[in-house]
Structure 1
Amino acid sequence: MTDTAHSPDRIAELLVHVGRAARSEDARADLTAVQWACLRFFARANATTRTPSAFASFQATTRGTASQVIKALEMRGLIARRPSPVDGRSVRFDLTEAGRHLLKSDPLGALSGLLGAMGGVERAAFLATLSRLASGLAEIKNAPAFGTCRDCTHFAGSGGAGYCACMDAALGADEIDMLCASYRGPKGAHRTTRTSDVNTQGQTP
């Protein structure tokens, strides 16, 4: 018998709905939803990932569309371009003081508040589930996966700092929880099935 109360379709639809509701705009919004996403991305990404191409991949959009969004934020003085620390021919984008100030009124704040009200164990389990879903979906669609160094298979922790095998570089404590375009999640994430996911008939829902 199908468990419609916990069906994958219902969960997927609810995830999409929560995302849309959290990013919904009103007449008082300072930025559009995609501009907020861009500002948030450059605030959360590490130095080598704060590029137009990385944002385009993260947003699953074209480079041209991403460049237009970035240009709009740059013209408003919310982000500023800097030479890339890796390749002097390319640029990265950092938030300005105005950008950091505006981010304090991020519409995602309401959802963040609800997540913050969760217990630590529940929140950690929820994050692990969402991270596995994100990695699995990227693998299925053959798309870049984004995640933090802490959750990456390239990462090796050492005290409060760490090491990235992909970049062959040491990581400071402030870099470990930033988004990285070189992130690699566990392989086969979309095929992972826990014993608790199997019903009494021995079938997965």
Structure 2
Amino acid sequence: MISYRYQFTMTRPNELPEADCLAQILIHLGRAARCEDGASGLTAAQWTCLRFLARANARTRTPSGFASFHATTRGTASQITKSLECRGLIARRRSEEDGRSVRFDLTEQGRKVLADDPFQDLVAAIADLDETERRAFHATLMRLAAQLAARRGLPAFGTCDDCKHLEERTSGAHCACMGRDIEITDRASLCANHAASELTPGRTIAKTGHDRNDND
């Protein structure tokens, strides 16, 4: 078997990298970043769930929301969330809007565990990129995520600031998809109703509200 290190260095300088090589690097980075550590006793899937619940908005922190994000079944997602509940790291809440549905919130203990997330090593590596590299990297990743989701018929997760449903109004930000105003703290949260904007991620998206029917 050819090692990842060998495959990563097969491309000569100035030669366009093969798509499968870049895909393997992405997979390698993902696996390396979500490593299981013995100190916490959490699995890679449990870490992924904690990170998701810490970044997702209230309407997306649901069993189906995590199942979609984790690209797994509702049954598997339920097992993962139940194991975190048993550890006291997340709590199940009834939705204020619909008493039949539930959402998950991190407990204080869960936030303490997340503070020691091994994923932070990758965060630090990305933070070392300069501003131009980070913006280009962000745009590329968002485009790849949207294209992969479209190919598989899955929802593409993203934030309000990168979403075409976002409307900037004099009263504040508004979500045309959900038909409600957006709290400032939610603009950087993951949302399952995300639709990629054609504009560069991070730019302000100005809309008039006349295209709401296109987003239903």
| Other structure's SS at 2:41 match | coil
Displacement after TM superposition at 1:185 (Å): 1.6
Residue in 2 aligned with 1:75?
A: 86
Q: TM-score, normalised by structure 1?
A: 0.85
- Indicate the percent of aligned positions where both proteins have the same amino acid: 54
State which of 170, 182, 191 in structure 2 corresponds to 1:171: 182
1:152 equivalent to 2:163? Answer yes
The separation in 2 between residues aligned to 1:125 and 1:160, in whole angstroms, is: 31
State which of 10, 14, 29 in structure 2 corresponds to 1:18: 29
1:112 equivalent to 2:132? Answer no
Q: How does 1:75-94 map to 2 (within 5 A)?
A: 75-94=86-105
The alpha-carbon distance between structure 1 residues 98 and 160, as it changes in their structure 2 partners (threshold 3 A), is farther
| Other structure's SS at 2:30 match | helix
Any conservation in 2 of the 1:160–1:173 contact (CA below 8 Å)?
A: no
The one-letter code sitting in structure 2 at the alignment partner of 1:70 is T
State which of 28, 40, 46 in structure 2 corresponds to 1:35: 46
The CA RMSD measured in Å over matched residues stands at: 1.7
Any conservation in 2 of the 1:47–1:85 contact (CA below 8 Å)?
A: no
Any conservation in 1 of the 2:162–2:197 contact (CA below 8 Å)?
A: no
1:123 equivalent to 2:134? Answer yes
Residue in 1 aligned with 2:8?
A: none
1:96 equivalent to 2:107? Answer yes
Comparing 90-99 with 19-28, greater Cα deviation is found at 19-28
Deviations 1:10-38 (A, max 9, x none): 11111111111111224334310000000
Any conservation in 2 of the 1:135–1:186 contact (CA below 8 Å)?
A: no
| Other structure's SS at 1:6 match | coil
The separation in 2 between residues aligned to 1:101 and 1:49, in whole angstroms, is: 22
Relative contact order higher in (CA < 8 Å, ≥ 6 apart): 1
1:142 equivalent to 2:153? Answer yes
Displacement after TM superposition at 1:112 (Å): 0.1
Any conservation in 2 of the 1:49–1:179 contact (CA below 8 Å)?
A: yes
Displacement after TM superposition at 1:52 (Å): 0.5
The separation in 2 between residues aligned to 1:124 and 1:101, in whole angstroms, is: 30
Deviations 1:79-117 (A, max 9, x none): 111111331111111011111111111111000001111
The alpha-carbon distance between structure 1 residues 27 and 10, as it changes in their structure 2 partners (threshold 3 A), is same
The alpha-carbon distance between structure 1 residues 109 and 160, as it changes in their structure 2 partners (threshold 3 A), is farther
The alpha-carbon distance between structure 1 residues 24 and 157, as it changes in their structure 2 partners (threshold 3 A), is same
State which of 77, 81, 94 in structure 2 corresponds to 1:66: 77
Gaps of at least 5 residues in structure 1 are 188-205
The one-letter code sitting in structure 2 at the alignment partner of 1:120 is E
Q: TM-score, normalised by structure 2?
A: 0.81
The alpha-carbon distance between structure 1 residues 82 and 114, as it changes in their structure 2 partners (threshold 3 A), is same
The separation in 2 between residues aligned to 1:125 and 1:86, in whole angstroms, is: 38
| Other structure's SS at 2:184 match | coil
Find runs of 4+ consecutive structure 1 residues off by over 6 angstroms: none
State which of 59, 65, 73 in structure 2 corresponds to 1:54: 65
Residue in 1 aligned with 2:214?
A: none
